[in-house]
Amino acid sequence: MTLRLILAAAFALALVACASEEPPVDTVVTTIAYEHVPSGFVFPLDVGPFTRTNVYPGRAGSDGVIVGYAHMMPTGPMLITVTLEASPPVTAQPATIDPACRQLFAQRRDDIAKSNAAVKWLEDRDVTLNIVGDSRPAMMVAFDYEFRGNPVRGFLFITCNLNGKWTLHYRVTSPRDPQVGQAVASFIAALPAQLAPAGKAEETSK
């Protein structure tokens, strides 16, 4: 791991430790592709220019996992935390985005506001994400804030009922750089992958 990536990983750990919506840091070290056994989704070591930094147990009762990736851009570290957990029960049909999923998104947005008092909301809208080769309805919010005196830009994307069961959260922390949007889209299109070749993924406990 290069020095620049080590610095990005350290920044990621500090960010998780300070974010009230994330669990306490309890790192599961993996050295090859990680397969989340309940879903069959795979989180490789590298996704484009991003390198996986950590695998955390999911929130209590979520049957999920939280996976961190980092990429050192010329303007600073770009971090993406992927949370995979069971979706809330579907409350209405048909709905492009179920109301229970919108409620979850609102809760996570509130978590961001609570942990970043000076957050400036930039954009909040429905989007379409390409995930595991499938076009998925999702919700997105973009915001600016400062982390330890550094101006950063944040994004939160949430989509529910992937494969009928799973919710994906993508929490992005990055420099305020115009190249960020394309990097995020490419990352989401590539991760998670499904499934791992036999014997090539490491299974770890939640």
Task: Note the pLDDT tens digit of each residue in 22-34.
Answer: 444 344 555 788 8
Rounded to two decimals, what is the model's pTM?
0.81
Q: What is the DSSP letter of 192?
A: S
Q: Is the pLDDT of residue 4 over 50?
A: no
The angle formed by the CA atoms of residues 54, 58 and 62, to the nearest 5 degrees, is 160
Find out whether 75 and 177 touch, Cβ atoms under 8 Å.
yes
Band the pLDDT of 202: cuts 50, 70, 90: low
CA distance 11 to 144: 17
**Concatenated DSSP letters for 83-151?**
EEEEPPPP-SSS-SS-HHHHHHHHHHHHHHHHH-TT-EEEEEEEEEEEETTEEEEEEEEEEEEEETTEE
Q: What is the DSSP letter of 194?
A: -
What CATH number does the domain located at 3-198 have? 3.40.1000.10
Residue ranges per structural domain of the chain: 3-198
pLDDT-above-70 percentage for the chain:
78
Query: Which of 29-43, 76-90, 103-117 is the least confident region?
Result: 29-43
Find out whether 145 and 152 touch, Cβ atoms under 8 Å.
yes
Q: What is the pLDDT of residue 39?
A: 87
CA distance 191 to 129: 11
Stretch 105-118: mean pLDDT: 89
Bridge partners of 144, per DSSP, are 120, 153
